[in-house]
Amino acid sequence: MTKRYVGWRKSRHSNPNGGCVEIGRASDGTIGVRDTKGDPAVILEVAPREWARLLARVRERGF
């Protein structure tokens, strides 16, 4: 079964041409990541704990 993601948010670092990366959240807390330039049905699913670790590392290293 495919999860339903809601509350899609666009990255603040998106290009003004409309192509962007968005994140949404499923009811079980799973994070969905999609690229609006590609097939919107292709969603990378990330566990909440792993998403938190990724964000912490990005903030720590200043990517």
Q: What's the predicted TM-score (pTM) here?
A: 0.78
- Express each pLDDT in 3-38 by its tens digit: 899 999 988 777 777 678 899 999 999 999 998 888
Q: What is the pLDDT of residue 9?
A: 92
Between the CA of residue 47 and those of 8, 22, 56, what are the distances in Å? 16, 16, 14
Taking all residues of the chain, what is their mean pLDDT, rounded to a whole number? 87
Name the percent of the chain in helix, strand, coil, to the closest 5. Answer: 20, 30, 45
Q: What is the pLDDT of residue 63?
A: 65
- Express each pLDDT in 31-60 by its tens digit: 999 988 888 778 999 999 999 999 999 899
